[in-house]
Structure 1
């Protein structure tokens, strides 16, 4: 018999920055502090430097990673860069304060220097934003690497932000953040973040975090790590290519892509509503609103707002019925 999607336990992450209230409201759970601003959904990778933190588990406490390792054919169709790899990571991120300016390595850099086939291209789907809330993405003009090094060494975050695009955001904005592009999420922004399955971050602005300088360059040293950073400007035309907007409350199609097509090789993020048919393959789900049914070859599964699931590839094509609005994250096409 074909397997059904598996319900997941809450997986809140304690962090240096404030937030988490909007995650708790969506998920119908209670936070234990005001510094639990992230939840990792269907995660089979852990936080950098930690062997367990971040890993998702099923309702009975079994790690999803262990299920995938034990039966990769069922979960991923046998594909994966390492045992337990599902090809993506989905997060909920509720920024109660501005995050630091940072950058992620691309696949080429990660393969050469971090022994990993994945970099950390990511994308933000804005689920909610306070009026005037913004993200920062890319340089406005070409920057001199020496100026960036000075700003980094002096922890001059104000200089960095002045030289970056500030983009006010609203619910339904989907923004791709290519690896190598400096970025920061601003206070008051609640996103679902799809990304490659790593936790590789190079902090240019560690002084507003609990990290030290020596913990901010992935153990590579800054001379090497800074080679992952793009110094050329991100034009306004390029920003337009990296952004789309969708109405999350009145989707035009049963299955609606929420990100620019440039994201497809890395991950896909869709909104599935009544009548949607999602092709077979591993998927991470968040039920954003409503209730309904996931119909799979193995049977029907009742779903409701706030629930999260991991869908094994062997579940086959599956359908959404009812009033449920389901966020679906899937691995990329390359």
Structure 2
């Protein structure tokens, strides 16, 4: 069960594999405070990207590179001026093994040619500032609340170099080892966690996790049993599997709910 999540099906995280063949639009996700007051949901949609593969010189676009005037942003949104938006955003060239945290409220987009694992709060709340490059319409881009209501959820502040750097981890660019290594900046911990490991490991504590087998073959082993795993497979590991370890010669990514979940849902956003 969810042990205090919003219902018995609440697992605290959502994990996706995203293979962007074309640039994804400029968009923003609301935070927990906005979702609680406007969308009757305790979760916003802070998310993180872990880069698995990329073509040359592909980038993610994250946060404004200078403060943006709200009235001008409204005008550029209505004009669907994606080029203006991207020019005012931080462009970060990515490589495999990079982890990027995308806090709720932060404008973002992803170039085509990037294959990544996305770990996020378990909602699908998106405010599209640039719907013209998608199959969505303007009326499908503001959470059915209207842009006047949702635009306050969009930060217009600059994300400066130091703040941007704090959202990026390069831990995964070094080879995985036997320990469970965090692949995301520490600011992600209250929302979700992402680890990797390879070969024979010590045990991880019991708890829901999503395990993606990125290379090799091996087994997930606990007192409840052993499950053979191989490259390309994805497993949902239930709490009832107990404490478990990795055996054999597999390399895995392990996504888990945030530290302290679900109690962290009680107070809105974690600061």
How far, CA to CA, are the matches of 2:171 and 2:112 in structure 1? Answer: 22
Aligned to 1:146, the other structure's residue is in SS state: helix
Aligned to 1:206, the other structure's residue is in SS state: coil
Aligned to 2:118: 193
Aligned to 1:306, the other structure's residue is in SS state: coil
1:225-268 Cα shifts (integer Å, max 9, x gaps): 10110000000101110001134672245211000011000000
Aligned to 1:110, the other structure's residue is in SS state: helix
Cα contact 1:94–1:190 (8 A) shared by 2:
yes
Does 2:102 correspond to 1:102? no
Does 2:41 correspond to 1:116? yes
Aligned to 1:303: 229
> Gaps spanning 5+ residues in structure 1: where?
1-71
Does 2:249 correspond to 1:323? yes
Cα contact 2:219–2:246 (8 A) shared by 1:
yes
How far, CA to CA, are the matches of 1:303 and 1:292 in structure 2? Answer: 5
Give 1:93-242 correspondences, 5 Å limit: 93-242=18-167
Aligned to 2:5: 80
Cα contact 1:140–1:164 (8 A) shared by 2:
yes
Deviation, structure 1 residue 83: 2.9
TM-score by structure 2 length? 0.93
Cα contact 2:196–2:253 (8 A) shared by 1:
yes
> Gaps spanning 5+ residues in structure 2: where?
265-271
Deviation, structure 1 residue 275: 2.9
TM-score by structure 1 length? 0.76
Cα contact 1:243–1:259 (8 A) shared by 2:
yes
How far, CA to CA, are the matches of 1:274 and 1:215 in structure 2? Answer: 46
Kindly report the root-mean-square deviation, in angstroms, between the aligned alpha carbons of the 2 structures.
1.1
Cα contact 1:254–1:274 (8 A) shared by 2:
no
Aligned to 2:132, the other structure's residue is in SS state: helix
Deviation, structure 1 residue 327: 0.9
Query: Which piece of structure 1 moves more, 252-261 or 315-324?
Result: 252-261
Aligned residues between the structures: 259
Cα contact 1:97–1:187 (8 A) shared by 2:
yes
Aligned to 2:214: 288
Query: Cα–Cα, structure 1 residues 314 and 248, in superposed 2: closer, same or farther, change >3 Å?
Result: farther
How far, CA to CA, are the matches of 1:253 and 1:105 in structure 2? Answer: 37
How far, CA to CA, are the matches of 2:143 and 2:250 in structure 1? Answer: 40
How far, CA to CA, are the matches of 1:318 and 1:249 in structure 2? Answer: 24
How far, CA to CA, are the matches of 1:273 and 1:264 in structure 2? Answer: 22
How far, CA to CA, are the matches of 1:299 and 1:314 in structure 2? Answer: 11
Deviation, structure 1 residue 122: 0.1
Query: Cα–Cα, structure 1 residues 261 and 253, in superposed 2: closer, same or farther, change >3 Å?
Result: farther
Give 1:12-23 correspondences, 5 Å limit: none
2:170 to 238, 241, 245: 245
